[in-house]
A and B are shown apart, each in its own frame.
Chain A
Amino acid sequence: MMGQNTGTQSGFFREAGRLTLLFAEIIRSICTQRLAWSDVLYQLYFIGNRSQTVVLITGSFTGMVLCAQTYFQFHKVKMDSASLSIVSVAMASELGPVLAGLMVAGRVGAAMTAELGTMRVTEQIDALRTLATHPVDYLVVPRFLATVVAMPLLTVEAIAIGIAAGWFVATGVLGVDPAYSIKHMLHFTEVNHLLMGSLKAVVFGGIIALIGCYKGLNCGDGAEGVGRATNDAVVHACVGILVTNFFLTMFLRSVLYPQ
């Protein structure tokens, strides 16, 4: 069957090729077909509803632990009040989008694969096609657009709560001066950091939806096929996010800070 030949190099390239074709079909559908806005809004609601809590929890605790660890090191060189600026730069440009991406991949990407995969094994995708509807138009495009819109929003949320939680730990628990913390944070954090985080989030959203839908549409037979596809979708999306993140950092750095 399609999509089961993974793990080998040729499997990797075949998969990459098919993902590219699916992406092209999505773009084509967005440009040429009438968009069902109500479906996009429903998906947006679904994504927000499902991932809100986990994103807030991971964002806040990561901000807290990062702040504490930075303080422990900076304290040795009497730079206590700079701790929060490390948290804010790291959250805005790296951790915010990556954490939100990993959480959304686990919550939303997996749900997409399971839903579309179940539709495939129960022949609902075939039924859709006989009712003269392209699965990409009806199923993939609303999910893709919704994820691409939701990811930056969730990312900004993770960044904000991460910094707030870090500030709370720094000032409330570790006794750092609140006013200087804020002053240094504002001094070192640039709009470009936030911009980088948001752009990354858009790309990660695309990766999550693309892989989630692809794995679902091409899943193997039966409950086992759906299970494996869901598992694959989460792992591949997470790896994809972490690998892409590095290249995006290098690329966006050169775009946002031209020499």
Chain B
Amino acid sequence: MIEARSIIKSFGKQSVLAGVSFVIEAGQSVVVLGRSGSGKSVLLKHLVGLMEPDSGEVLVGGQPLNRMTERQLLEVRRKFGMLFQGAALFDSLSVGENIGFAMRRERKLTVDEINRRIAEMLELVDLPGIQNKKPSELSGGMKKRVGLARAIAHRPEVLLYDEPTTGLDPVGADSIDQLMERVCEQLKVTSIIVTHDMRTARRLGRRILLLRDGKIFLDSPASVVFESKDPYVHNFVNGIANPKEVGLL
């Protein structure tokens, strides 16, 4: 369904992705792990054609994105829903308008249907009745949840989550985890979840990709990753800093 073929991407002299390849089948739920700055967000943006690789290609449903114009990409992106790291809500629009944005642009549903869907989505993310608030009135966690509601409102086939639980309190993070699990199982969507929250990873990651130095360091089922004896992986999943890297030794 989604395939990355040796993607290479640098910004100026800084190499971010140095040959990333994987295949994600429809309906799979994959967690991408990696330290901050390892290029997880950059990778996600390549999968929807928001960024172009320096070399290599991304295929969605067998179609290479590289050769498409922006307008062709827009059609492909209808299949996707994306939650951005900073939520990226449109701050000139109300919460309701944000969530209904894609549906309103598509013009397939009536205004009543869209409003009902917006209310339903807000219900789902535990924020009922805030349709008329502006994003600037919301806390960081609430923005994330509205961003999630916006990402799933038009019923996409593929959902990309960029650090969905970062910055949430533990209970809020757990409710997002549950929500993602439900969405994944009930709507049969393909989910790609970028996170460094191990709880999310344990819960949702049937398969885990670990990004390190611009490459896929590890691509395994979750059980293997959490039992791994490899020192880097072990330290990563248990949140242990290497004393040498910290500079204590």
Contact = CB atoms under 8 A, between A and B. Distances in A.
Given A123-B84, A126-B45, A126-B84, A133 B50 contact: no
Interface in A162-200: none
Interface in B96-136: 101-102, 105-106
Given A129-B50, A129-B74, A134-B74, A123 B88 contact: yes
B19 interface: no
Given A123-B88, A127-B82, A132 B75 contact: yes
A53 interface: no
Interface string B52-96: 000000000000000000110111011011101110111100000
B101 A131 contact: yes
B48 interface: yes
A134 B71 contact: yes
Contacts of B73: 129
B88 A133 contact: no
A132 B77 contact: yes
Contacts of A259: none
A30 to B, nearest CB: 14
B150 to A, nearest CB: 8
A133 B105 contact: yes
A132 B50 contact: no
Given A123-B85, A131-B150, 11 more contacts: A122-B88, A122-B91, A126-B45, A126-B84, A126-B88, A127-B88, A130-B81, A131-B101, A132-B106, A133-B102, A134-B74
Dominant SS among interface residues on chain A = helix
A106 to B, nearest CB: 22
A120 to B, nearest CB: 11
Interface residues of B, number: 26
Contacts of B80: 130
Nearest to B12: A1
Given A130-B80, A132-B75, A134-B74, A122 B101 contact: no
B75 to A, nearest CB: 7
Contacts of A119: 90
B14 to A, nearest CB: 12
A141 B84 CA distance: 26
A127 B102 CA distance: 11
A6 interface: no
Contact of A132 (B86, B105, B150): B105
A128 B70 CA distance: 12
A132 B49 CA distance: 11
A127 B148 CA distance: 12
B88 A132 contact: no
A138 B92 CA distance: 13
A5 interface: no
A134 B78 CA distance: 12
A73 interface: no
15 contacts: A123-B85, A123-B88, A126-B88, A127-B84, A128-B90, A129-B48, A129-B70, A130-B50, A130-B82, A131-B77, A131-B102, A131-B105, A133-B102, A133-B105, A134-B74
A246 B121 CA distance: 57
B71 A132 contact: no
A122 B85 CA distance: 10
A126 B73 CA distance: 13
Contacts of B82: 127, 130
Pairs of residues from A and B, 9 with the lowest C-beta to C-beta distance, nearest first? A127-B88, A123-B88, A130-B82, A131-B102, A132-B74, A132-B78, A132-B77, A123-B84, A126-B50
Contacts of B77: 129-132
A127 B101 CA distance: 11
A131 B106 CA distance: 10
Nearest to A32: B71
Interface string B25-61: 0000000000000000000010010100000000000
A168 to B, nearest CB: 42
Given A123-B84, A126-B45, A126-B50, A133 B90 contact: no
Nearest to B103: A131
B90 A124 contact: yes
B140 to A, nearest CB: 13
B102 A124 contact: no
**B70, B86, B88, B102 — which one has the most chain A CB atoms within 10 A of its CB?**
B88
